[in-house]
Structure 1
Amino acid sequence: MIDIRDAYRRALDGFGDRLHLVRRGQWELPTPCVDWDVRGLVNHVVAENLWAPELLSGRTVAEVGDAFEGDVLGDDPLKAFEASAQGAVQAVYAEGALTSVTHLSFGDVQGEEYITELFADVLIHTWDLARAIGGPERLDPALVASCSEWFEKAREDYREAGVFGDEQGLPADADQQTHLLAAWGRNP
């Protein structure tokens, strides 16, 4: 398995590559995440990036409060993403980030688990963004393999928590990316 910090950084790079392809008039397009259009999806990823330094430094959700509620993109979504991604990457590579106790809304987890969750979220949302804007949907195969390996162990916990939709049916010859996306409730 890839070092989770490297996987997260690479997933953010892939998301950023797709984000650069968003054209005027595409921000309101629907995404596979039924609650979000393109702008809402990007806003979610940026907000998650903004949370990472706070939570990996030991702050609690209550201490951070509503600092990242609402629109965190402002007038320049690309700039907001790039700044948030840079801060998140710095936070995951900080000394002790992997072993830190991260206080999430549902309980405490080790930093490595939190970073893995961030990685998976960004990877899946990279496909969501690409699908919405008609961009390249093929994800980095090494990242797909790493996410798939982790998700096999975490799938039931996520399903019980209602994090994603029902798993989609697959053709017999489906590749690993298709399996992963279907497991996350996507219909590739």
Structure 2
Amino acid sequence: MINALDLIPGAIDRFGARVLEVPAGAWNDPTPCTEWSVRDLVNHLVGEHLWAPHILAGEPLEQVGDRYDGDLLGDDPAKAWEQAAQRSGKAWLDTDLSGNYRFSFGEAQLTTYADQMLVDLTVHEWDLARGIAQPGSLDPDAVELCLAYARANVKRWDGLGIIAPPIPTDSTDPVVQLLSLTGRAV
């Protein structure tokens, strides 16, 4: 059975391919994440992937502190992404997800963290593509797993401010369903 850990390396690569497509003048363009520009979106993912090795190694949040707050992209956003993605990708290889970790929201299984990371990569791949006006499709296996995770957690997300409220849809397309559940108008 396929799981998030199996799909994360490909999701990292696909998001990275989108980062390399960002035109020089598009870093301040809006994305479907209404409060984030293209730069903000990529900065968010860079931060997530700089954190991943620490979390997967079991380092407490307090030990990492605020070192990944603020602008992580500097003058070369693509290079910042590549460096974060390399570190994250290595950490996900051969990692043991059988344990738990104490996140800012409480304790959770590392398998849940992997699911969340896959959702973040997959949905934000779509956001980035739209932010730079590029067409694209999402990996069907990633969409299937992310959609199952979103369906199971959408009510829990309500009011947390981590995603926009779901947008009702009658579509049977799994991509549209996933994006709608995560507050994106397709």
Identify the TM-score tier after normalising by the shorter chain.
Answer: over 0.9
Alignment of 1:1-188 (within 5 A): 1-96=1-96, 98-170=97-169, 172-188=170-186
Identity value in percent: 39
Q: Deviations over 1:132-183 (max 9, x none)?
A: 101123211121111112222122112242321121132x444110011000
**1:58/1:100 contact within 8 Å kept:** no
**2:28/2:39 contact within 8 Å kept:** yes
Instruction: Supply the AA of the counterpart residue of 1:139.
Output: L
Distance 1:54 1:91 in 2: 9
User: SS of the counterpart of 2:102?
Assistant: strand
Q: Deviations over 1:86-143 (max 9, x none)?
A: 21122122442x1232221011112111111111011110000001101123211121
Distance 1:92 1:108 in 2: 19
Q: Cα 1:60–1:41, aligned 2, differ >3 Å: closer, same or farther?
A: same
> How many pairs are equivalent?
186
Q: Cα 1:152–1:173, aligned 2, differ >3 Å: closer, same or farther?
A: closer
Distance 2:134 2:18 in 1: 7
Q: CA RMSD in A?
A: 1.5
Distance 1:102 1:85 in 2: 21
Distance 1:80 1:19 in 2: 10
After TM superposition, the score normalised by the length of structure 1 is 0.92
User: Once superposed, which parts of structure 1, at least 4 consecutive aligned residues long, lie more than 6 Å away?
Assistant: none
Q: Deviations over 1:48-106 (max 9, x none)?
A: 0000011111112221111100111122111111111121122122442x123222101
Q: How many Å apart are 1:186 and its aligned residue? A: 0.3
Distance 1:157 1:70 in 2: 27
User: SS of the counterpart of 1:163?
Assistant: coil
After TM superposition, the score normalised by the length of structure 2 is 0.93
Q: Cα 1:83–1:3, aligned 2, differ >3 Å: closer, same or farther?
A: same
Distance 2:108 2:51 in 1: 15
